Amino acid sequence: MTQFNWSLINFAWLPILPLIVVAVGAMGVLLAGVQVDDEDSGALGILTIALLVFAAVLSLLLFGGRPSVAFSGALAAGGYTAYFDLLVLFAAAMTALMSVEYAADQGLAGAEYYALLMFAALGMMLMAAGDDLIVIFLGLETMSIAIYALAGFMRHDPRSNEAALKYFLLGAFSTGFLLYGIAFIYGATGSIKLEPIEAALSRPATDNALLLAGVGLLLIGFGFKIAAVPFHMWAPDAYEGAPTPVTAFMAVGVKAAAFAAFVRIFMVHLGPLGPQWTMVLWVMAGLTMTVGNLAALVQTNIKRMLAYSAIAHAGYILVGMTAAAAPRAGGAILYYLLGYAFTNLGAFTVVVALERRGAIHDNLADYRGLAARHPFLAAAMALFMLSLAGVPPLAGFFGKFYIFSAALDAHLLWLTIIAVINSVISAYYYLSVLIAMYVREGGVEPAALRTRPALIATLVIAAAGTVAIGLFPQPYITSAAGAFVSALGNAPHHHVVLSR
């Protein structure tokens, strides 16, 4: 029996501290919840938020850190990882905050709900940190499995069951594509880690057909997760049926994490193959924006409408990825995801506010006359809708502005025109929510907001962020751009196509 050589482990505590806090925290919440009734799971929600905030503080300390890799190149530490960690932890904490009253009211199994929320967040953070296709895959699975279960948490609601099953089956299917792609890339390059893969791209011996097949399969796998057309079929049903805070988390957290890995693999490490994959992304981006926005026009259910809106926004972000040749594109995508997170979390919080146990008011008609009865709620919703539509000076406007100008830098004139036309189309359905709230009459009376302080807090944070990121975009775009550059800092060969 030979002795295990401990020095083989390239161990580093610092980069994984936030991950450890979230993983151990999830188990802690599970244990703490053993004695807690589902009807008063609010305390568990507060504990979850505290743990997530603690992890976020640790990530913030790592934000300025020098880019480095740990665990033999399995994890990347530095600005890029920390940026997405903060984004994911923020989305998870906001989801927990809007669930504090909701989960207790709906009688959801509190301990499992919050633990799965944290497991999903852990998976997302791993996707952001993974510098290794296996770690990214495991992160994606941890996230997805937790979210599949969360989507079906309203077990007495057939819509929730349908959402979970559809999301699970199609998600498992897409995982197959992703894994197949990883296997092909491993076969072509002989490595599972991103930096050696990038190094192998410039070797003439690398089998190009096998490599491109792998990259294509990877594109399909990520296309499913970000709900890009034509891989978006699951999204409207899953978004509609899932408990609304989970829908918010799906729209913001899953999307941010999927793009974190997607951008890191493609824009940072597969730069030399840029001409090939940007061609595919061009078509995907155009289709995703157009189909998402056109389908959103005819929706009468607000969660379905927001689902199609989320598809359309994935399309705008794909425009940013198509513009990979422009140095500003990476920062623009990261900034877009930040503004989108605040705005979308806010919009879903308003949807949560209108729901009560046994009565789901998620039809557009339910919002009629909301302004007269709840001016605060209606004003918040109006703010979020205007930001999603891209009205200045809100977060959504500058997100689109940076993405579109990066696209122009990359000489994607036609794609930018398609994107601008789509923005105009999208204004119609976002504004129809405003018209319902401010002009029409009827609708439903939401549960008294006074008894739901956590919901008010969520709304205030989301609204403040939507305004602040829009009014003062400079610090945010600077840190977003810096975060993206720090990811490039890990990659020695990026200058083949992308310039710093």
Stretch that binds other proteins, among 106-114, 328-336, 469-477, 491-499 (CB under 8 A): 106-114
41, 142, 175, 244: which one binds other proteins (CB under 8 A): 142
- 99 is a site residue for other proteins (CB under 8 A): no
* Site residue total, other proteins (CB under 8 A): 47
How many whole angstroms separate alpha carbon 483 and alpha carbon 251?
22
Contact status, residue 331 vs residue 403, Cβ threshold 8 Å: no
User: Least distance in Å: CB of 296 to other proteins?
Assistant: 30
Find, among 465, 212, 492, the residue nearest to 335 by Cα.
Answer: 465
Between 38 and 207, name the residue whose CB sits nearer to other proteins: 38
Four-residue CA torsion sign, 192, 129, 137, 180? negative
User: Least distance in Å: CB of 291 to other proteins?
Assistant: 31
Positions 284 through 303 that interact with other proteins (CB under 8 A)? none
Pure H helices in 3-129: 13-32, 42-63, 79-106, 110-129
Stretch that binds other proteins, among 8-16, 209-217, 238-246, 278-286 (CB under 8 A): 8-16
80, 84, 102, 119: which one binds other proteins (CB under 8 A): 119
User: Least distance in Å: CB of 220 to other proteins?
Assistant: 22
- 365 is a site residue for other proteins (CB under 8 A): no
67, 152, 241, 443: which one binds other proteins (CB under 8 A): 152
Place of tokens 């890990």: 490
Positions 10 through 49 that interact with other proteins (CB under 8 A)? 10-11, 16, 23, 26-27, 30, 38
42, 45, 79, 139: which one binds other proteins (CB under 8 A): 139
Between 114 and 277, name the residue whose CB sits nearer to other proteins: 114
- 195 is a site residue for other proteins (CB under 8 A): no
Four-residue CA torsion sign, 403, 408, 409, 412? positive
Strand partners, 162: none
How many whole angstroms separate alpha carbon 19 and alpha carbon 80?
15
Contact status, residue 483 vs residue 80, Cβ threshold 8 Å: yes
What is the 3-state composition of the chain as percent helix, strand, coil, each rounded to the nearest 5?
Answer: 80, 5, 20
User: Least distance in Å: CB of 487 to other proteins?
Assistant: 18
Contact status, residue 484 vs residue 330, Cβ threshold 8 Å: yes
Between 126 and 321, name the residue whose CB sits nearer to other proteins: 126
How many whole angstroms separate alpha carbon 248 and alpha carbon 252?
6
77, 126, 188, 491: which one binds other proteins (CB under 8 A): 126
- 164 is a site residue for other proteins (CB under 8 A): yes
User: Least distance in Å: CB of 186 to other proteins?
Assistant: 13
85, 101, 141, 195: which one binds other proteins (CB under 8 A): 141
116, 182, 311, 447: which one binds other proteins (CB under 8 A): 116
Stretch that binds other proteins, among 109-117, 248-256, 286-294, 462-470 (CB under 8 A): 109-117
User: Least distance in Å: CB of 185 to other proteins?
Assistant: 16
- 134 is a site residue for other proteins (CB under 8 A): yes
Contacts of 479 (CB under 8 A, 6+ apart): 63, 79, 83
| Backbone torsions φ then ψ of 89, nearest 5 degrees | -65, -40
- 132 is a site residue for other proteins (CB under 8 A): yes
Burial of 287 (0-12, 13-18, 19+ CB in 10 A): middle
How many whole angstroms separate alpha carbon 83 and alpha carbon 101?
29
User: Least distance in Å: CB of 11 to other proteins?
Assistant: 8
* Dihedral-angle region of residue 78 (phi above 0 means left; psi in -120 to 50 means alpha; beta otherwise): left
Positions 330 through 359 that interact with other proteins (CB under 8 A)? 357-358
Stretch that binds other proteins, among 153-161, 215-223, 300-308, 474-482 (CB under 8 A): 153-161
- 114 is a site residue for other proteins (CB under 8 A): no
Q: What does 340-370 look like in DSSP terms, one character per residue?
A: HHHHHHHHHHHHHHT-BTTB---BGGGGTTH
Return the number of other C-beta atoms located less than 10 Å from residue 46's C-beta.
15
Contact status, residue 322 vs residue 495, Cβ threshold 8 Å: no
How many whole angstroms separate alpha carbon 56 and alpha carbon 311?
28
- Write out the residues near other proteins by the rule CB under 8 A: 2, 4-5, 8-11, 16, 23, 26-27, 30, 38, 71-72, 74-75, 107, 109, 112-113, 115-116, 119-120, 122-123, 126, 132, 134-135, 138-139, 141-142, 145-146, 148-150, 152-153, 155-156, 164, 357-358
